[in-house]
Amino acid sequence: MLNASMWIFVWLSVAAHGVVSSGTIEFPTKEACEAGKKSWGEMYVTQTERGGSAPYLDAKCIQKQTGKPQ
């Protein structure tokens, strides 16, 4: 049985040199998911700045039970 308050952070990124990365992380609340998304995004931007490439990035928090974004 799914917990209605569970949220999933989903991301897809494509680096300038063609490397694709994707994944998911589960969080118990929307607020925790948003905090994780913000932290992950900041880390990703820092790594990108070091590498000098501008990636494609899509990241969302989705409610697990409905499959709908916030």
Question: pLDDT of the chain along its 70 residues, tens only?
Answer: 455 579 998 888 877 677 788 889 999 999 999 998 888 877 777 766 666 665 677 888 999 888 877 6
Which residues, including other chains, have CB under 8 Å from residue 2's CB and lie 6 or more apart?
64, 65
Domain assignment present for residue 37? The answer is yes
Number of domains the chain contains:
1
HSE-CB of 13 using CA atoms within 13 angstroms: 18
Domain assignment present for residue 1? The answer is no
Which residues, including other chains, have CB under 8 Å from residue 20's CB and lie 6 or more apart?
12, 13, 14
Domain assignment present for residue 39? The answer is yes
Structural domain including 23 reads 7-63
Instruction: Determine contact, residues 11/62, Cβ cutoff 8 Å.
Output: no
pLDDT attached to residue 1: 43
